[in-house]
Each structure stands twice: as C-alpha cells, then as structure tokens.
Amino acid sequence: MPEKNENTEKNEKDRRKIKAVKKMKEIMTFYYIDAKTAAENNKKVAWITSGGPVEPLIAMDIIPVYPENYGAMIGASKMGVDLCEKAEAMGYASDLCSYARCDISCATVNGGPIGGLPKPDMLICGNNICGTVLKWYEIQARYFNVPLFIFDTPFCHTGFYEEMRRYVRSQVDEYIEFLEKTTGRKLDRERMEEVGRLSVAGQRMWQAVLDTTVNKPAPMSAFDAFFHLALIVTLRGTQTAVDYYQELLAEMNERVKEGIGAVPNERYRLLWDNLPIWYRTKWLSEKFAAHDACLVADTYTSAWCGSLRYMDENDFLNSMAEGYTRIYLNIGVDEMARSVCDMVDKYGVDGLVIHSNRSCKPYSLGQYDIQRIVEAKKGIPSLMIEADMCDERMFSESQIETRIEAFIEMLTRKNRR
C-alpha cells in the first residue's frame, strides 16, 4: 500500500509540474551559447541593465547580456557570498548592491556560473531602476575599456512632464547613433519597427501569463514567475519570447481548466514585493506551500509589462520614451502603493509579503509606508522579511521561519472570523 501512495504522490507532483520549464531552459542555454560565442561569429555583445531599452540592440543583431540576470543565477547557485566577499576585498563596501558586487568581482576572476559572462563590446545603462547601475556600469566601462551609453530616465515623483519626454526621446536617437557608431552599421528602420511590435506583443503575452493567477487555484506562483521571467528580460523584442509565452499561456489556461494549482490546497493567496531571495526561493516556496499559501502575484515580475499602457506598438521609438521612464521603480512611493492595492484587488490577495532587500534602496525605502497604506486600505495583514537578494549572509533562517509562522497564524485567525 505505501508504494501506491508514493506513486500517487509522484503522479500528483508530475501533474503539477509546469511542462514549459524544459523549453525555457533550452532557450536560455542557446541564448547563453550564442552570447558566449559571439566573438567567433562576428557578433557584438552589449551588457545592458534589466530595465534598459533592449529593442534597438535586437534590431541591430547585437547580443544583449544582462548582468542582473546573471546576478540572479549567481544567487540561485549560492555563489553570491563568495563573490560578494571578493568584491569587498577589492574595496567595495558590504552595504552595496549584491548584484553589483557579484558582477564586479566576477569580471576580474574566473568564477561564477557558466564560466562568467562574455566580455562586452559596449555597455548600455538605463537608470530607470536605480542610481546603482550608473556607478556599476561606470566601473565596468573603466574595467573593460568599452563605450558606455547612459539612458537617463528622469524620476517621476508625481508625474511625467513634457520636458522629460523630450529629453528621453532625444536620447533614443542618441542611443541609435551610439550603436551605429560602435558597430559601424546602420539601423534598419523596418526591422526596428518589427522588433518594437514583437516587444509589445511579448509584454502583452507575459502580462496574460501573469493574469492567469487571478484564477483560484492559481495555476502558477510568483516563484514560477521568477523563473519564467528570464525571457521577457533577456529576449524582449524577439519572436522566441512571444512564442514561448504563448505556449506557457496555453499551458496555464489548460491548468486553469483542469483546476491544477501551483499549491495543492490553495487556501491563502499572497502578494510578494521586491526581488526574489534567489538562494532561498525553493525554501520559501516550500515553507509557504506547507501552509497552503500561494504567492499568486508579485510587484517584481510584473514590472516588465507594467508600463505597457504607455507603449505604442506602431510607434515604438516615440512611445518608448514614456514607457521606459514610467516603470514601477521610477515612480513615487504613493503611486507604488496604489499599484500594490490594485494588485491586491485584481488577484484576490489575502496577505502581503514584503522583502526588505538591503541591496535595493529604490525598491525597499518606502516599503514601510506601502505596507501601512495597503494594510489600511485593503484590510489585509503583511509580513516583512529582512534579507538580501544575493548575499546569503543577510538571511536569518530561524528568525524568518518564526515570522512566517506568526504571519500564517494571523491569516488563519482572520479567516476564522
């Protein structure tokens, strides 16, 4: 009899597994092989920030490489502490962003996953996510001695003004000139239009995937989204990304139809704020699942489709000025809180889980206010986890475990009432 139980459990687990994962891994492997062999194939490599304007690169056949995506890989493979310590030995303070510390030290040593990133021919820094990337890319521009383009997107505390649009729009042209000069090739405008359309299509598709979690049970969790996010970050503007998300969407819709949830007995629906704790995603995912809690949505993965409303697929270069400026991290704390409240409504959320991330000041400073606003407006409890996305030294397991348990207890009590 126990054998049969085991079998059912295994079947049940298999049924719950997202099939597209395999394809995703293949695509990312090909992508990294392509990037690593760029020089042999006469292709240029551009390092670009996660919120940076990648579309012109794709249109010009320049391979975009994302140190932040690599930072996530470093974190997930638990290599963060070692690389952070190496950066500290180079003189970088331990309070600095752990992605930056990892990437900076990784460039100088032969370490890190996949044997390091391919060397950049140019650097593209979009400061719509933080001021840290500016300093980080300056350091890499000095180290690799390659040209740096800064895509400067003014911060929108309370609005997006005409002079901001003009400034960012002229930088789109400067950016294209920079790429043409660096590669010695002209941008094919028709191809650019096509890439713009694909970018918007990919973002729409990604939003549609995320939207499937409005269903109860949610067919996927934020932990799945953290994984499937990679393509909308790295291959935004390609047919590959659109096709992949179409397939993933179909699978999610199928799961919804069959009532397959990410968490077996979904009881509590939670919203995650901030970057994942990459070295503990599995641990956290299991901790929450053990209490029948599913993280159905998050503010992080939705950031790559959050400014869709400002993008015009038929006028991409003009509309990207606003689209790239008004992203989640480049807006005021009050607007962020409104956005979280909207998500609470949309996804039917019972509680908020906030990662106070030492590495990310623009994302984390203001979270206490967001927490209070959401608690007051939506009447839901919240949990704050103090940690860091890559630096495991900042993670206190026993303390966080106790907090999660207390939080679940609070949800249970609230539910009983």
Among 22, 78, 119, 142, binds other proteins (CB under 8 A): 142
- The CB-of-335 to other proteins minimum distance in angstroms stands at 9
Site for other proteins in 86-105 (CB under 8 A): 90-93, 95-97, 100
Task: With residue 122 as reference, give the H or E element that holds it.
Answer: strand 122-126
Among 35, 73, 141, 289, binds other proteins (CB under 8 A): 141
For tokens 């015009």, name the residue. 312
Among 10, 161, 254, 264, binds other proteins (CB under 8 A): 161
Site for other proteins in 324-383 (CB under 8 A): 332-334, 356, 358, 361-362, 364-369
Contact call for residue 15 and other proteins (CB under 8 A): no
CA–CA distance, 252 with 220 (Å, rounded to integer): 7
* 299-328 footprint of other proteins as x/- string (CB under 8 A): ------------------------------
CA–CA distance, 54 with 304 (Å, rounded to integer): 12
Contact call for residue 127 and other proteins (CB under 8 A): yes
| Cis preceding linkage at 53, omega within 30 | no
Q: Which of 281, 197, 272, 285 is closest to 242 using CA atoms?
A: 197
- Contact (Cβ atoms closer than 8 angstroms) between residue 67 and residue 47: yes
- The CB-of-189 to other proteins minimum distance in angstroms stands at 21
Give SS3 for 105. Answer: helix
CA–CA distance, 331 with 354 (Å, rounded to integer): 18
Number of residues that bind other proteins (CB under 8 A): 48
CA–CA distance, 51 with 28 (Å, rounded to integer): 19
Nearer to other proteins, 203 or 364 (CB): 364
Nearer to other proteins, 290 or 365 (CB): 365
Nearer to other proteins, 37 or 108 (CB): 108
- Contact (Cβ atoms closer than 8 angstroms) between residue 207 and residue 305: yes
* Number of Cβ within a 10 Å radius of residue 44: 19
Contact call for residue 177 and other proteins (CB under 8 A): no
Q: Which of 311, 233, 309 is closest to 58 using CA atoms?
A: 233
- Contact (Cβ atoms closer than 8 angstroms) between residue 295 and residue 272: yes
Nearer to other proteins, 2 or 91 (CB): 91
- Contact (Cβ atoms closer than 8 angstroms) between residue 6 and residue 237: no
- The CB-of-410 to other proteins minimum distance in angstroms stands at 20
Task: With residue 355 as reference, give the H or E element that holds it.
Answer: strand 351-357
Nearer to other proteins, 5 or 145 (CB): 145
Nearer to other proteins, 51 or 261 (CB): 51
Q: Which residues bind other proteins (CB under 8 A)?
A: 90-93, 95-97, 100, 127, 130-132, 134-136, 138-139, 141-142, 148, 150, 152, 154-158, 161, 163-164, 166-167, 170-171, 174, 332-334, 356, 358, 361-362, 364-369
